[in-house]
Amino acid sequence: MRVAIDAMGGDHAPDEIILGALEAARELKCEIVLVGDESRLLPILEKHGNWREAGVCVHHASEIIEMNEHPGAAVRKKKDASVVVATRLVKQGDCDVVISAGSTGAAVAAALFGLGRIKGIERPTIATPIPNLAGTTILLDSGANVDSKPKNLVQNAVMGSIYAESILGMQNPRVGLLNIGEEETKGNEQALATYPMLARAKTIHFIGNVEGRDIPKGTVDVVVCDGFVGNIVLKFGEGLAGAILQLIKEAIKGGGFWAKIASLMVLPALQGLKRKLDYAEYGGAPLLGVDGGFIICHGSSKARAIKNAIRVAKEFTEQRVVEHIRDNIAKEGMLTNEE
C-alpha cells in the first residue's frame, strides 16, 4: 500500500510530518510518498539515516495552501500545492490514500475536485471518533459542511455506520440523530425532516434522537448532525478533556505530600486516561463520500498523530470502505433521488 502525505500541511510541518511518516513506514510496513518542497524535505530526511530503505520517497510540489486562504479558490489556483498534488497521485492510481493535516477546507476542496464524489453522495462528511465510557462513538459531520439538508444527514448515517462496522468492528452499530430531546417531535426543521428518513433507511440501525450526553455515555455508536453543530461538539469535547486532566494535575500538586504519594499509585490509570482522551491516539478522521481514500488530521498533529493517521489510512484501504459505501448507497435508492 502507498500513502501520499501532504508534508507541508499542519502547524508542525514538515518536521513532525516526516518523523511520523518514518515511524509508520518502519512499523506498519507501507510505502510513504511525502509530497512537498524537496528543498525543505530532503535536508530533514537526510538527518534520519536510511529513509529510502524504510520505504519513504519524496514527490516535489512547489506550492503550499495557507490556512488564511479561501479553500476553493486556492485549490483551483495552486495546481502544484502539496495537498492538490497528493490527491492527484491517488486519482492517477499511484497511491491508495491521502493524508493531510493542513487546512480542512482546502483538504475537502482538493478531495472534491481531485477525486469526485461517490455516485449518489451529494456532500462528503468527516467522521471523527470520540472516546466514551464504552469505547468509541463516531461523530459526523464534524466540519466538512456547516449546512446540511436532511438527505445529506441520512447519507452520513449510512457512511458512518459502514465505517463503524469496517474499521471499529461494531456489529449493527446504533445510529442516533443529535437533537435537544429524545422525542420524535423535538428539534428544528432539519431534525424533524431527517427523523422519518432515517427511520426508513434500509441499511442502518436507527435508534432515534439522542442528546449530547449520550456521546460520552456510549449509548450510541454513530451520531449524525450537520458540520456546524458537530465541530462545536468536537472542539468542546477536546477542551473539556484537557481541562479535566489539568484540574487533576492541579489537585494533586496542591494536595500536599500525601496527595503526591497517592498519585503515584494511580499514575498508570491516569496515563491510560490521558491516552484515551488524546486525539493523537486516533490519528485522523476519514473524509467519507469522496471516491477515494482521504484522511484529515488535526492541524496541530505531531509525529505520533501522523503515525496513527497512517495506521487508520492502512485499515481504511484494506477494509475497502469506499467500495462498501458505494454498494450501500446504491441499496438506499431513495437517497439518490432529489428531495
Report the C-alpha gap between 183 and 201 in whole angstroms.
19
Provide, for the chain, the percentages of residues in helix, strand and coil under a 3-state DSSP scheme, each rounded to the nearest 5: 50, 15, 30
Per CATH, the homologous superfamily of domain 1-121+289-318 is: Isopropylmalate Dehydrogenase (3.40.718.10)
Domain boundaries, the chain: 1-121+289-318
Mean of the pLDDT values across residues 95-124? 94
Residues 6+ away with beta carbon under 8 Å from 105: 71, 72
What is the predicted pLDDT for the residue at 338? 41
CA within 13 Å, CB half, 198: 32
Residues 6+ away with beta carbon under 8 Å from 142: 126, 127, 128, 227, 230, 231, 233, 234, 285
For residue 32, give Cα distances in angstroms to 21, 89, 97, 314: 7, 12, 10, 11
Tell me what percent of the residues of the chain surpass a pLDDT of 70: 91
Q: If you count them, how many residues does the chain have? A: 339
Q: Grid coordinates in use for 50? A: 536510511
Reported as a single tens digit per residue, the pLDDT across 245-295 is: 788 778 777 777 766 676 776 666 666 666 666 666 778 899 999 999 999
Taking all residues of the chain, what is their mean pLDDT, rounded to a whole number? Answer: 90
Reported as a single tens digit per residue, the pLDDT across 192-228 is: 999 999 999 988 999 999 999 999 999 999 999 999 9
Q: Is the pLDDT of residue 336 over 60?
A: no
What Rg value do the Cα atoms of the chain yield, rounded?
21
Q: Grid coordinates in use for 107? A: 483538504
Q: Grid coordinates in use for 257? A: 505530600
What is the predicted pLDDT for the residue at 269? 63
What is the predicted pLDDT for the residue at 243? 86
